[in-house]
Amino acid sequence: MLPKVDYHNHTPLCGHAVGEPAEYVEQALKKGLSEIGFADHAPLVAHEDARYTMGYSQLPLYHEMIRRVQNQYKNLTIKLALEADFIPGFEKKTQAILRAFPYDYVIGSVHFIDRWAFDDPDEKIK
């Protein structure tokens, strides 16, 4: 049987999640997960919009939030990660952010076409 894991969780720093990391960990334990991962949206190098991502200056706070639950909950594997958008022309800047810290994993994503956030319900095609 495969282990029960959830590697796609966000904190309020990403602008569209609610609940503190400890609340997610408690739910993971209740559901019998063996691992949980936090993958907040990496700072967007093309633009910073608090609805979609944390700012670069918030990365140390994000790391501390996850380290705190890792130290508090030793009976669950808790991974620290980022979800990084592919934005053409900004690959090197994104790569620099991802290489600045030894993350457990990175989720690659596409949420923008040019500067249009196509999966945002507030962004309508006119």
62 pLDDT band, cuts 50/70/90, is: very high
Looking up residue 37, the CATH number of its domain turns out to be 3.20.20.140
Residue 12 lies in a domain: yes
66-109: pLDDT as tens digits: 999 999 999 999 999 999 888 788 889 889 989 999 999 999 87
Q: Is residue 117 in a domain?
A: no
Q: Is residue 10 part of a domain?
A: yes
Residue 51 forms beta bridges with which residues?
Answer: none
Record the pTM.
0.84
Domain that holds residue 63: 5-109
Q: Is residue 124 part of a domain?
A: no
Q: Would residue 38 count as lying in a domain? A: yes
Give the position of tokens 């936090």. 38
| 89 within domain boundaries | yes
Q: Would you state the structure tokens that stand for residue 13, as one six-digit string?
A: 């720093």
Written in H, E and C, the secondary structure of the chain is: CCCCEEEEECCHHHCCCCCCHHHHHHHHHHCCCCEEEEEEECCCCCCCCCCCCCCHHHHHHHHHHHHHHHHHCCCCEEEEEEEEECCCCCHHHHHHHHHCCCCCEEEEECCCECCECCCCCCCCCC
Tell me, yes or no, whether 121 lies in a domain: no
Counted domains in the chain: 1
Range with the poorest average pLDDT among 3-7, 12-16, 49-53, 73-77: 49-53
pLDDT of residue 53: 75
Q: Which of 34, 30, 28, 15 is nearest to 83 (CA)?
A: 15
